[in-house]
Structure 1
Amino acid sequence: MTDSLSADMLARLAQGKTFQDLANKVVFITGAGSGIGLAMARAFAACEARLALLDMDASGLDRAVASLRAEFPAAQVHACVAGVTDEAAVNEAFSAVHAAFGRIDVLLNNAGISMNVPTLSLTGEHWRKAMDVNVNGVFYCAQAAGRYMSEQGSGVILNMSSMYGLVAAPERAAYCTSKAAVAMLTKVLAIEWGKLGIRVNAIAPGYVKTALVDDLVKAGRMDLDALTKRTPIGRMGEPHEIATLALFLASEHASFINGHAVVADGGWSAYSYI
């Protein structure tokens, strides 16, 4: 299955034995129409969570919802079409989800964009777009979720950073800077909101097989063979591997983990030899 959990892993999750505490939790996922966002939706649906999915691509979101309902007929799925850079639309989406489900337990702040451009060619428009989606959008959604979570006295927020928010790479000035900002925002919120019962962590993936990566390969901006050879584990990541990390961090198994950017990169950032 493309961009999904393996059949065996999905079957184990569906048994509800690993992350039983996630059943009936309300999980809000941004950028949920494809890739890692959709993989996370499937993983949480397998654990019988209730889903709120947000994406700016209405047709992609419709397909995602249809596929989830086909695979998990009992799943409760609420869809919101909005871009994370529109603060008013974000607040409206969270209000609608809270009205529908009565609470928001988990935010998977997944929506983001790549920006792979030589720095001397990086325009102000490119820079502002990366910051608007990757930083402002994460902040708007975290703040909206935090308001509801603080009222109920509990919640988990997982922001999507990147290994390139923790280590640098050429021709990614805007991307690295934006993802580093997400990692630092995560720490600030974890410190500030921990006393309110809210845990905030970041997930920092390495190279994962998604449509975004496919587009960069097709554009000649990424060498797939070189990447796999450079990764100590010898391959790229799969969306379901990031999804299962999200399950763990959202669950009671991670109840004392707060304020961290958890890296899942196959050893890339540990390997300093070029």
Structure 2
Amino acid sequence: MSGPEFAIYPSLRDRGVFVSGGGSGIGAEIVAGFARQGARVAFVDISSAASEALVADLKGKGVAHVPVFHNVDISDVDALQEAIATSDAAVEGIDVLVNNAANDLRHSIGEVTPEFWRKSLAVNLDHQFFAAQAVAEGMKARGRGVIINMGSCSWRLGLDQLSAYVTSKAAIEGLTNGLARELGPEGIRVNCIIPGFIKTEKQIQMWLTKELEKTIYDGQCLKELIEPVYVANLAAFLASDDARMCTSGTYTVDGGWI
């Protein structure tokens, strides 16, 4: 990657990392970021093509440990927890969990059925708890661990046509605090990253219009669109021993969107 040089954290070398939704967008940058740190990374995603291309790209770049990919729908809790168990062996113990997967489908209130509502919460909220449940015992046994949940600025800003999504994202901050309190005595830290509008391929193709770009620039203190690498950089810091006393926190990467 051209551009600025970013920090390397020695404490992340050879650490086991599991990322949900790691095949594209922010998740792919998080997978790549931890791989560049020398971590052992496993990830799940619903898209095999994008995920396999990411693995091939990182292998070609000579990372110390080539990431392991599992094709999993994270709304299937049994399949997710099975993939986590398999990944735990592959990375020699999951020390870091990044609950990244989500889907920000737009919807009006009138369109929402009970089935849509439950599916939205399953994709955007439920898997974060059940992934944390799956890694907790191993982290307890090692006396250390980091769980990073992915929230969103959307519920704070009250963005339109996202009622189910913003409900999930608001709940994630409460989940973060609950997990941090319960798991803290075991040496496990739990934090939440709050991205703003991140310049991923999906967001550009599906949602970025001139009108939205103006709204973003009017709202942000920093007048540029945010690249996914800056979310990955924060995840790496929070996972590292440099952040050893950071837990139960929410950390924004939103350009100061007020």
TM-score (norm 2): 0.93
Which of 111, 122, 144 in structure 2 is aligned with 1:132? Answer: 122
Query: For 1:195-254, what per-residue CA distance to the aligned partner results, in whole angstroms no more than 9, with x for missing partners?
Result: 011100011100001133124327x79723332333221122110010001011111111
Q: CA deviation at 1:165?
A: 4.1
Q: Does 1:266 align with 2:242?
A: no
Alpha-carbon separation, structure 1, partners of 2:223 and 2:156: 21
> Once the 2 structures are TM-superposed, how far is the Cα of residue 121 of structure 1 from its aligned partner?
3.3
CA distance in 2, matches of 1:171, 1:139: 25
2:13·2:38 contact (CA, 8 Å) conserved in 1?
A: yes
Alignment counterpart, residue 229 of structure 1, candidates 214, 218, 226: 218
Q: Is the 8 A contact 1:28 1:53 kept in 2?
A: yes
Question: 1:129-187: per-residue Cα shift (whole Å, max 9, x none)?
Answer: 22010111111111111122112211100011111244433322111110011111011
The 1:217–1:170 alpha-carbon spacing in structure 2 relative to 1, beyond 3 Å, is closer
With over 3 angstroms needed to count, the CA separation of the structure-2 counterparts of 1:67 and 1:152, relative to structure 1, is same
CA 199–226 in structure 1, closer or farther in 2 if over 3 Å, else same: same
Q: Output the CA distance in 2 between the equivalents of 1:159 and 1:184.
A: 11
Aligned match for 1:7, one of 2, 9, 12: 2
Measure, in 2, the Cα distance between the counterparts of 1:222 and 1:78. Answer: 40
Contact 2:153 2:196 survives alignment (8 Å): yes
User: How much identity, in percent, do the aligned residues show?
Assistant: 34
Counterpart in the other structure of 1:25 = 15
Report if the CA contact (8 A) 2:55-2:66 is conserved: no
What letter is aligned with 1:61? S
Q: Is the 8 A contact 2:38 2:63 kept in 1?
A: no
Residues 21 and 101 in structure 2, CA contact (< 8 A), matched pair in contact too? yes
Q: Distance in 2 between matches of 1:222 and 1:146?
A: 44
2-structure distance, mates of 1:40, 1:72? 17
Contact 1:165 1:183 in 2 (8 A): no
Q: Note the aligned Cα RMSD (angstroms).
A: 2.0
Which residue identity does 1:99 align to in structure 2? Answer: A
Task: State the TM-score, normalized to the length of structure 1.
Answer: 0.87
In 1, distance between residues paired with 2:155 and 2:143? 30
Match of 1:40 among 30, 36, 50: 30
Across the two proteins, how many residue pairs are aligned to each other? 258
2:160 to 155, 170, 173: 170
State the match for 1:98 in structure 2: 88
Please tell me the residue identity of whatever aligns with 1:225.
Answer: K
Pick one of 227, 240, 243 that aligns with 1:251. Answer: 240
Partner of 1:58: 48
Question: Residue type of the partner of 1:235?
Answer: E
The DSSP-based 3-state class of the residue aligned with 1:157 is strand
Deviation at 1:40, TM superposition (A): 0.9
Structure 2, unpaired ranges of 5+: none
Structure 1 gap segments, 5+ residues each: 1-5
Q: Give the alignment partner of residue 195 of structure 1, picking from 185, 196, 207.
A: 185
Which of 190, 195, 207 aligns to 1:217? It is: 207
Name the counterpart of 1:3: none
Please say which of residues 96-105 and 195-204 is displaced more in the overlay. 96-105
